[in-house]
Amino acid sequence: MSAVAGSVQTFVIKGRCVVPGVVEAEALVTRDPISGWGGVDPRTGTVVETRHELRGQCFSGKVLVFPGAKGSSGWSAQFHVARVMGTGPAAWLFNQMSTKIALGAVVSHAPAMTDFDQDPLALIKTGDWVKVDATHGIVTITRKSQ
């Protein structure tokens, strides 16, 4: 679904609620799965994994769009600490459900969704403005043309 209004494009995709809540923020998109412990630094809210395409980038306050979680079971604890430190993402949109991402999203208290009718990795670009209404299972993406 796509509508063009002047130089602003809006898309809507639907999915399943993982953690309820509503938030709006800028998107940070990666096609690489994210490692928690040893993959991110909760003190700065950045990705530190050596071969990760987001290495050195900050996810704090962003709508993180990614395939899923990988790596050590310290996953939830890293994002739990990030939330308490105020460096966590604003929302989570992901394709591959796992215990790591489910628990990590739950303890981050940030709205989270999965099982989308269209692939968010294909539709959403870093820098897009994204409204996540996880409670109702709706994601609204707004993109300004260059």
Partner 1 sequence: MTLTDEEKAMRDGRDGNAIACAMDLLIRYGEALGAENFVETRNVCGTVTATTPFMRDFALKQGAGASGLNAVFSEFNLDTTERVDVPKVKAFSSHLQLGFDPHHPLEMGVTEQMVQFYKKSEAMAAKMGVQMMNTCTPYQVGNVPTRGEHCAWMESSAVVYCNSVLGARTNTEGRESTSSAMLTCRIPNWGYHLDEPRLATLGIELDMPVASVEDWGLLGYWMGDWVQDRVAVISGAGLKAAVPNLPRLKHFGAAASSSGGVELFHLVGITPEANTLEQATGGRPLKEVRRYGPREREQTFERINAFGVDRDVDYVMLGCPHYTIEQIWEAAQLIEGRKVHENSALWIFTPRAIKALADRNGYTKIIEDAGGVIMTDSCSAMSRAVPPGTKVVALDSAKQAHYLPAILGVQAWFGTTVQCVDAACTGKWVSP
Q: Which residues bind partner 1 (CB under 8 A)?
A: 16, 18-19, 33, 38-39, 48-50, 68-77, 80-81, 84-85, 96-100, 102-107, 112
User: Which is the catalytic residue, given 35, 72, 98, 145?
Assistant: 72
Which residue, 1 or 84, has its beta carbon nearer to partner 1?
84
Q: Is 72 among the catalytic positions? A: yes
Q: Considering the complex, state which of residue 29 and residue 102 has its C-beta at the smaller distance from partner 1.
A: 102
138-144/8-14 β-pairing: antiparallel
Q: Say if residues 111 and 83 touch (Cβ distance below 8 Å).
A: no
Q: For the CB of residue 99, give the shortest distance to partner 1 in the complex, in Å.
A: 4
Cα 95 from Cα 71, distance rounded (Å): 17
Provide, for the chain, the percentages of residues in helix, strand and coil under a 3-state DSSP scheme, each rounded to the nearest 5. Answer: 15, 40, 45
Q: Which residues are catalytic?
A: 72
